[in-house]
Structure 1
């Protein structure tokens, strides 16, 4: 597989729900000679993919096993509950965990929410993936609590979602192999952190230094000009004031 540094390509992994488009667009503008390849990866496989060299960097959800990885936490996601449109929750603008106490709440194996105490009633099954859980919600078998980005990813016309004010929140992070912090990785970190193209901390994005302007030659001290008596219109020299014209003295 082409290496992100020597092959002059950059491979960016991302887990479901994360939309890297805005950072990819900036990369394309600033690094037109270095193609960027997007690698969609299931959340459970993202860390392993990076450790095995399958991508140069990736967007993951915390928590993640940080062994051998460098991690920069980025943003926190809103938590929502997905329900069928005829569910009582659909009539509210916002709900709490207590409002779900009588509902079966699915917790798929790839659950993006880290729970200390799972809400609601224990579901009859534990789906393998979030997508499988969404299918069960659409069938009216229960509800599903997920980050808003996943609710949008799995949008269906027969489902809706509402914010859960007191539920735990997931956080998206940028991560990469700690022993492979290449120049291209540094460039992408700068983009994600919002550094401008002229930032002095950027490697390739720093503006080139302006050429030095040649110094103007030093002016020579004005030379003293010899005083010359002015000439009149006849071409004869005018005697300076206070001096007498030489002539024959009377004997």
Structure 2
């Protein structure tokens, strides 16, 4: 590669709440010459970013329109309710949607949960973002229901959260434009799916070698020929063909001379 050439880069989008650190680390170990660039994007804009070539792949929240986007579901998040630390609900391990019936529950415009009908009583206005809603919870305006990763992302010391049963859950997926499934995208899919660096996926199988070739490879050269005067069993050329003992001096055995008549 000349100095004027720019190495290929891989752009990875991710929505709030997703922590791609582990996968980025593995990528950097396996492809140190291919930089990975992280692109943060709001959940509602992630699909559009991928379609507009703003990233090669991305961690998104389902559902996404799979007409032109491929998606591999990865995990489902626990849904929690964010409450002040002095709220009465801190006395329980978990809450249900019915427990919120008399509570004011904030419903931000960027809510990622697919509610048929949000629980509790609606606030007078919907906060613009989840982060804004967290600030309102701290101010005592109401409670907030979010995926657990967002409760952690916008954590405050004066707030806590409890798991909420009977509520929708948010699923995280790896998505990319189907028509742009490049080699780098395939490489990242393998990392996310846990394939090892020695995975044979996509590699042609090694053809079996003949025995002679394997023997040559192990010895580092051509098969050895028997030395001159040696048999294939490694014995001396003067071996008795009938299997008898050889003359200790190596000569042929002599009989007594015949007398002439």
Shorter-chain TM-score above 0.5:
yes
* 1:8-35 CA distance string (max 9 Å, x none): 1100000001000010011111111111
Q: What's the counterpart of residue 46 of structure 2? A: 46
Q: What's the counterpart of residue 245 of structure 1? A: 257
Q: What's the counterpart of residue 110 of structure 1? A: 110
What CA distance in whole angstroms lies between the structure 1 residues aligned with 2:126 and 2:66? 26
| Normalised TM-score (structure 1) | 0.84
Runs (5+) with no aligned partner, structure 2: 1-5, 217-221
Q: Is the 8 A contact 1:106 1:143 kept in 2?
A: yes
What CA distance in whole angstroms lies between the structure 1 residues aligned with 2:251 and 2:110? 112
1:59 aligns with 2:59: yes
Q: Is the 8 A contact 1:195 1:202 kept in 2?
A: no
What CA distance in whole angstroms lies between the structure 2 residues aligned with 1:208 and 1:38? 37
What is the CA distance between 1:151 and its match in structure 2?
Answer: 0.1
- Spell out the pairing of 1:91-130 with structure 2 (5 A cutoff): 91-130=91-130
What is the CA distance between 1:232 and its match in structure 2?
Answer: 8.2
Q: What's the counterpart of residue 131 of structure 1? A: 131
Q: Is the 8 A contact 1:8 1:34 kept in 2?
A: yes
Q: Select between 84-93 and 220-229 the one with higher mean Cα deviation.
A: 220-229
What is the CA distance between 1:132 and its match in structure 2?
Answer: 1.2
Q: Select between 112-121 and 76-85 the one with higher mean Cα deviation.
A: 112-121
Q: Select between 54-63 and 157-166 the one with higher mean Cα deviation.
A: 157-166
Distance change in 2, residues 1:56/1:218 (3 Å): same
What is the CA distance between 1:225 and its match in structure 2?
Answer: 3.8
Number of residue pairs aligned between Structure 1 and Structure 2: 237
Q: What's the counterpart of residue 191 of structure 1? A: 191
Alpha carbon RMSD of aligned pairs, Å?
3.0
What is the CA distance between 1:166 and its match in structure 2?
Answer: 2.3
What is the CA distance between 1:65 and its match in structure 2?
Answer: 2.6
Distance change in 2, residues 1:111/1:247 (3 Å): same
Q: What's the counterpart of residue 32 of structure 2? A: 32
Q: What's the counterpart of residue 3 of structure 1? A: none
Q: Is the 8 A contact 1:95 1:162 kept in 2?
A: yes
Distance change in 2, residues 1:141/1:207 (3 Å): farther
1:222 aligns with 2:232: yes
Runs (5+) with no aligned partner, structure 1: 1-5
What CA distance in whole angstroms lies between the structure 1 residues aligned with 2:106 and 2:161? 15
